[in-house]
């Protein structure tokens, strides 16, 4: 019913295959048939096609265990990072330590959150759709109100892929993937006829990382995808030069802490992408 609050038990993106003692062998043996599970669906009475499901994100109870990985064949630079690579996190409070002297602020959110599409059949949970899904919007944190288009009676809402932290773009393909409990409250906006998800935040979205300023790299060209790749490559190079990070460590750190932004998309023929790394993560 609209107005009801529901607590969800959400598995990590591996479906429980990568725990606190996970190794590279576990990553190599990953069963992709179990990857990115969602908890649901929930039938919301009164939600009909054309409406918007209102999802108020109330609270997260993180497990304190997570992982970030380079999975061969996946990620923005998959053609350059061929080897499996795994970072297992143990975190509590407001920060997760990446390496000595590097701490990433914990800011939980669900990577996958959405309604069922109208099309019949089975659908991959990997790409996002107009009804939501694997959107990986790092600002869907506690206090945010999300509006999802409804295409089937009852909306058939599900949530999963919870993250303890992520940068905009999730460039290596994974964030701090972490199981947690999520508390949500539902409502319905009748005949909203939204064409895609939209959301509102309760306040600033970068205050937790703004204080130390940023190091920023850019990519410029006629293709936003390639410009994004160039910006990330430059940041990996920067992290190696300035902080002596191994390229794989730098790639994973970019994915959990740095933000891709479209800075310019009107001055044809070239567009400009910027990649913001907050210096606050370095102690």
What is the model's pLDDT at position 116? 97
| pLDDT, tens digit (0-9, with 9 covering 90-100), for 225-243 | 999 999 999 999 999 999 9
Residue that the structure tokens 């429980």 belong to: 16
**CA dihedral of 13, 18, 23, 29, whole degrees rounded to 10:** -80
- Mean pLDDT score across all residues of the chain: 97
pLDDT over threshold 80, residue 209: yes
Query: The domain 5-192 is classified under which CATH number: 2.40.110.10, 3.40.50.300, 2.60.120.580, 2.40.170.20?
Result: 2.60.120.580
Residues 19, 222: Cα–Cα separation, whole Å: 42
Rounded mean pLDDT, 42-54? 97
pTM of the full structure: 0.96
Domain 208-281 in CATH 3.10.28.20: yes
* 133, containing H or E segment: strand 132-134
pLDDT above 70 coverage of the chain, percent: 100
pLDDT over threshold 90, residue 93: no
Residue that the structure tokens 């959990």 belong to: 256
| pLDDT, tens digit (0-9, with 9 covering 90-100), for 149-165 | 999 999 999 999 999 99
Could you tell me where in the chain the CATH 2.60.120.580 domains are found?
A: 5-192
Residues 100, 61: Cα–Cα separation, whole Å: 25
């Amino acid at each position: 019913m609209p107005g009801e609050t529901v607590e969800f038990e959400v598995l990590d993106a591996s479906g429980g295959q990568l725990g606190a003692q996970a190794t590279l062998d576990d990553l190599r043996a990953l069963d992709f048939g179990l990857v990115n599970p969602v908890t649901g669906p929930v039938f919301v009475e009164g939600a009909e096609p054309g409406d918007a499901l209102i999802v108020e994100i109330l609270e997260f109870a993180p497990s304190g265990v997570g992982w970030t990985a380079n999975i061969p064949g996946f990620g923005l630079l998959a053609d350059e990072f061929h080897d499996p690579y795994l970072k297992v996190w143990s975190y509590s409070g407001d920060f997760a330590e990446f390496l000595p002297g590097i701490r990433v602020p914990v800011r939980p959110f669900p990577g996958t959150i959405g309604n069922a599409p109208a099309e019949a059949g089975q659908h991959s949970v990997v790409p996002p759709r107009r009804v939501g899904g694997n959107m990986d919007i790092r600002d869907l944190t506690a206090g945010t109100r999300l509006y999802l288009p409804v295409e089937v009676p009852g909306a058939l809402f599900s949530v999963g892929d919870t993250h303890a932290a992520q940068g905009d773009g999730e460039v290596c393909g994974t964030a701090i993937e972490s199981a947690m409990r999520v508390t949500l409250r539902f409502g319905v906006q009748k005949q909203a006829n939204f064409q895609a998800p939209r959301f509102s935040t309760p306040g600033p979205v970068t205050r937790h990382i703004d204080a130390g300023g940023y190091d920023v790299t850019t990519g410029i060209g006629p293709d936003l995808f390639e410009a994004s790749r160039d910006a990330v490559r430059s940041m990996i190079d920067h992290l190696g030069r300035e902080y002596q990070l191994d390229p794989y460590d730098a790639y994973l750190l970019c994915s959990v802490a740095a933000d891709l932004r479209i800075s310019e998309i009107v001055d044809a023929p070239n567009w400009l992408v910027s990649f913001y790394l907050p210096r606050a993560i370095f102690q």
